[in-house]
A and B are shown apart, each in its own frame.
Chain A
């Protein structure tokens, strides 16, 4: 059972005691991601995340990265569209290290100019690694086409020109603005006593003032104004095609019915970003229509849980000799049938059973359980996760039809194709 606590400085703490293994997972979630970035400063949230591993006075570089590891823990961080998170999963008797370290680097990171320049090349290297991938190139072009003004239009890693020019002052100001208790959710699951844990968190954070975050208002983008087609060229022998429609925000009542629809069309997705299990999609409608007829090699789809409306995307991988118009036509035909024709009870009950199974797989891991609590709080309420199965079980045929007609509108989408220019010669 998830318990929610709020400190006087605005820090939210979510706890869930689980005692089957002597393990605790501690996640610190900041409400800052690429959605909070202005033109010219793209990638700054992710870069700040890197700098949070560069040390404080108390935990200098090389001491900081050893503390969790020598405790037997694993730790890392992620930056995404709406949030940045830092996590530690470690033996239960070592939880104090995570609490102390995260409280310290919330306000005391050094941002040494020399380290910032070294990390500039590391972040650029990360982007260059991404650029090696056709899907990254296509994704970057798709986001740019699907949003006209919303910051979701750029990739989390940021644009190369910005990575070359963002300054230490920019980074430090971003950190000081967004890394504050009132903008933070700590989620802890595992083998601990809640009262004792809260006392420790109170001790670590009570002295940190809860500043008000200064941010520009962000106007959500509703439907894509008109249908667009984009094409990206690059090396290789494989065609990638993505069709993206505007999707509702995660807290919207349409989100769960659209998830069930996606499950019918392209197969179920777990939504978790820390593993837990998957279910194949070979009986999904689009797999049957496209892969089983040899039109494409594979098909997948999915939604993102975001604060503002984002995208529902269908992705296919195809041979270069296949006509992409035929592929698109087949997808449209299947979507049209879902919109118009009956969806069977069997279809719906299968989607619900798949959701239940994926949920159970995720609950094996304490890391996953802590992830879900904080993750839910980033786009909705912490109990979004607890209510997930209940809400899935309530989805009706009419709701699925309604979201299919509302969101999968061929007049309001982006179709993107990665066209291969051929393989380079190699051994």
Chain B
């Protein structure tokens, strides 16, 4: 029935992605997509919350959020007046290892995104009035986070899994550490870690590669490299060798959030693809895979129960999460551990593997449907050095995974008696 069956020409690849590097080191990648009159722009710097001093956890996040609150060239109001009048969006943020900007606009306003993103990154004003206003907003956000059962369970999980590593700490900090941060800390962080050397810019949308390169040249080529502080590198701690169980009581809640898991493969590991495919069988496929079938469909214990693999360049996590009534907590944990045990001992069936492969291959056109999806895919290929034909070869990579490789990968990362198990909500006896 389709008029245009799927073909590889619709997958961004080394022939269709435009690449450019400015003299100061900035990498620019772009993909022309004229299906809608819009553009999506991502920029990423490779330092984030992992460079925060522990007593000032949240510094990278605080700094990034100030970039859109006025520059030395333009006030807060003028900055947002231009963006909002164009119906555009431009936001800066930080994660554990990165600082980001993400912009979306009508194609006719691409220049505006480049202009303000460059100004925000390079010339932030860091005015006291906005530092203090943002501090209050961040503290309000943390007050909300501290009442969120899912967030607290997740913070506990990271704390026990990553121990002394910066990944154990929340990117948005704690109330105490946010209050420790002053303007000089922000200026120092910006001066130390914001540099063109590591910047990657990716654009997808109704604009050609030459125009993107010209905009990058115009707004970023005179950003000089400066001597950077060498980023701290922290070793990932060993995986747990016993079960670690922790629960945080939150008053007035009806349900607990539960997380069980351990480390997972990094994005560049050979284990990544078996882990992703195995995870789909374990806790994603259909209505949340084997975990969903056991905990939700067959036992009615939870509205959601699923597993996920999160991977970045030096580490990853593999975990199961569920929302559970406190009286069912023990039963849910046991069911999930049983599924993990079975998953690490027995090969997945050929039917399960076939179905999951078919699912992951079939959904790729949907993942690459929007400019945001395309830009993120290109960034992933470049950032993790996967090669710009990675998605052209995606089907072959998926088909190379075997039941044995999934079982061996699962055994490497998951053990039912060596999990970090955290929860937050009412006490179990309530």
A191 and B2 contacting across the interface, CB-CB below 8 Å: yes
A197 partner residues in chain B, CB cutoff 8 A: 1
* Segment at the interface with B among A59-67, A169-177, A324-332: A59-67
Contact with A along B298-319 (1 / 0, CB 8 A): 1111111000000000000000
Tell whether B270 is near chain A: CB-to-CB under 8 Å: no
CB <8 Å contact, B363 and A72: yes
B4 interface residue per 8 A CB criterion = yes
Q: Tell me, yes or no, whether A145 is within 8 Å of chain B by CB.
A: no
Secondary structure of the B contact surface, majority rule: mixed
* Contact indicator B299/A118 (Cβ below 8 Å): yes
Residue from the list A196, A283, A365, A424 in contact with B249, Cβ < 8 A: A424
Binds A, one of B53-61, B180-188, B194-202, B353-361: B353-361
Interchain CB contact (< 8 A) of A297 among B140, B250, B298: B140
A354 touches B83 (CB 8 A): no
Q: Are A62 and B293 in contact (CB under 8 A)?
A: yes
A22 in the interface, Cβ–Cβ < 8 Å? Answer: yes
A72-B370 contact in complex given A235-B253, A424-B250, C-beta closer than 8 Å:
no
Decide if B300 touches A72 in the complex (CB within 8 Å): no
Interface positions, chain B 138-162, Cβ under 8 Å from A, are: 140-141, 143-144, 146-149, 152, 156
Residue contact A192 to B3, C-beta cutoff 8 Å: yes
Task: Give the interface size class of chain B.
Answer: 35 or more
Q: Choose among A128, A237, A361 the residue that contacts B143 (Cβ–Cβ < 8 A).
A: A237
- Give the Cβ gap from B150 to chain A, nearest Cβ, in Å: 9
A91 to B362, CA, bound (A): 6
Cβ-defined contact, A280 with B104, below 8 A: no
- Report yes or no: A364 in contact with B250, Cβ–Cβ below 8 A: no
- Which residue of B is nearest A355, CB measured? B87
Instruction: Judge whether B297 and A61 touch: CB under 8 Å.
Output: yes
A132 touches B253 (CB 8 A): yes
Which A residues between 81 and 112 are near B, CB-CB below 8 angstroms?
89-96
**Which residue from A94, A124, A192, A357 sits with its C-beta under 8 Å from B87?**
A357
Assuming A128-B254, A279-B84, A426-B248, is B89 touching A74 (CB within 8 A)?
A: no
Residue of A whose beta carbon sits closest to that of B374 = A364
- Closest Cβ of chain B to A162, distance in Å, is 16
Q: Which residues of B contact A94 (CB under 8 A)?
A: 362
- Of chain B, the residue at the smallest CB distance from A276 is B370
Please, how many angstroms separate the alpha-carbon atoms of A250 and B1 in the complex? 36
Q: Which residues of chain B have C-beta atoms less than 8 A from A129's C-beta? A: 254-255, 303-304, 323
CA gap between A292 and B298 in the complex, in Å: 51
Contact call A357/B88, Cβ cutoff below 8 A: yes
Measured CA separation A119–B36 after assembly (Å): 41
Taken together as a complex, chains A and B put the C-alpha atoms of A141 and B59 apart, in Å, by: 38
**Judging by beta carbons under 8 Å apart, are A426 and B249 in contact?**
yes
Contact with A along B271-299 (1 / 0, CB 8 A): 00000000000000111000001001111
The answer to whether B369 and A297 touch across the interface, beta carbons within 8 angstroms, is no
Instruction: Knowing A93-B2, A191-B3 are in contact, say whether A128-B325 is a contact too (CB < 8 A).
Output: yes
Nearest B residue to A318, CB-CB: B140
Closest-CB distance, A100 to chain B (whole angstroms): 13
- Chain A residue at smallest Cβ distance from B359: A69
The 8 A CB mask of A115-132 against B (1 = contact, 0 = none) is: 001111111111111011
Closest to B85 in A: A350
Q: Are the CB atoms of B250 and A280 closer together than 8 Å?
A: no
The answer to the question of B350 belonging to the interface, with a C-beta cut-off of 8 Å to chain A, is no
Cβ < 8 Å to A, chain B residues 151-180 = 152, 156
B140 touches A283 (CB 8 A): no
A53 within 8 A of B: yes
Given A21-B365, A118-B300, A282-B80: A125 in contact with B85 (beta carbons within 8 A)? no
Q: Which of A201-247 contact B (CB under 8 A)?
A: 234-238
Question: Are A70 and B365 touching (Cβ within 8 A)?
Answer: no
A-B contact count (CB 8 A): 240
Q: Digit string of B315-335 for contact with A (CB within 8 Å is 1, else 0)?
A: 000000001110000000000
- Cβ of B301: which chain A residues have Cβ within 8 Å of it? 121, 125
B366 shortest CB reach to chain A, Å: 6
Question: Is residue B105 contacting chain A, with contact meaning CB distance below 8 A?
Answer: yes
B251 within 8 A of A: yes
A364-B371 in contact given A71-B362, A125-B301, A356-B87 (Cβ < 8 Å): yes
B137 and A423 contacting across the interface, CB-CB below 8 Å: no
Contacts of A200 in B (CB 8 A): 1
A6 at interface, CB cutoff 8 A: no
Which of B85, B324, B359 is in CB contact (< 8 Å) with A72? B359
A-facing residues in B1-24 (Cβ within 8 Å): 1-7, 10
Q: Within 8 Å CB of B81, what residues of A?
A: 283
- Contacts A71-B358, A279-B88, A282-B80 given; indicate if A192 touches B38 (C-beta within 8 A): no
Closest to A423 in B: B146
- With A93-B1, A357-B88, A366-B369 known to touch, is A132 a contact of B300 (CB < 8 Å)? no
Q: Is B10's CB under 8 angstroms from A363's CB?
A: no
A319 on the B face (CB < 8 A): yes
A406 an interface residue at 8 Å Cβ cutoff?
no
Residues of A within 8 A of B246 (CB): 427
Determine if B35 is an interface residue (Cβ-Cβ < 8 Å): yes
Q: How far is the CA of A335 from the CA of B424 in the complex (A)?
A: 41
CA distance A300 to B320 in the complex (A): 33
Contacts of B141 in A (CB 8 A): 297
A193 within 8 A of B: yes
Do A62 and B286 touch across chains, with their CB atoms under 8 A apart? yes
Q: Are A69 and B105 in contact (CB under 8 A)?
A: no
Assess whether A95 is in contact with B80, with CB atoms less than 8 Å apart. Answer: no
Chain A residue contacts of B297, Cβ below 8 A = 61-62, 118
B399 at interface, CB cutoff 8 A: no
Min CB distance A81 to B, Å, is 21
Q: Min CB distance, A175 to chain B, in Å?
A: 19
What is the chain B residue whose CB lies nearest that of A91?
B362
B38 in complex: contacting residue of A91, A118, A119, A360, CB < 8 Å: A360
Interface status of B244 (Cβ within 8 A of chain A): no
CA gap between A298 and B248 in the complex, in Å: 28
Question: How far apart are the CA atoms of A69 and B296 in the complex, in Å?
Answer: 18
- Per a CB cutoff under 8 Å, which of A20, A70, A71 touches B35? A20
B109 to A, closest residue via Cβ: A357
Give the docked Cα–Cα distance between A217 and B164 (Å): 63
Across the interface, which residues of B come within 8 angstroms of A21, CB to CB?
A: 10, 35, 365, 368-369
* A125-B301, A317-B140 known, 16 other contacts, Cβ within 8 Å: A61-B297, A66-B286, A66-B355, A69-B359, A71-B359, A90-B362, A131-B255, A132-B254, A267-B84, A283-B80, A284-B84, A350-B84, A353-B85, A360-B37, A364-B369, A426-B250
Q: Name A's B-contacting residues (CB within 8 A).
A: 19-24, 53, 61-62, 65-66, 69-74, 89-96, 117-129, 131-132, 134, 191-193, 196-197, 200, 234-238, 267-268, 277-284, 288, 291-292, 294, 297-298, 317, 319, 350, 353-358, 360-361, 363-367, 421, 423-427
Can you report 24 A-B residue pairs in the complex whose CB atoms are below 8 A from each other?
Answer: A21-B365, A22-B7, A23-B365, A62-B293, A70-B354, A74-B366, A118-B300, A129-B255, A191-B2, A192-B2, A197-B1, A235-B250, A237-B147, A280-B83, A282-B80, A294-B133, A298-B137, A317-B144, A350-B85, A357-B88, A360-B38, A363-B36, A364-B38, A426-B248
Q: 10 tightest CB-CB pairs across the interface, nearest first?
A: A72-B362, A357-B87, A92-B2, A424-B251, A118-B300, A65-B286, A235-B252, A128-B254, A121-B300, A70-B355
**Residues of B that sit less than 8 Å from A by CB:** 1-7, 10, 35-38, 76-77, 80-81, 83-89, 91, 104-106, 133, 136-137, 140-141, 143-144, 146-149, 152, 156, 246, 248-255, 285-287, 293, 296-304, 323-325, 354-356, 358-366, 368-371, 424-425
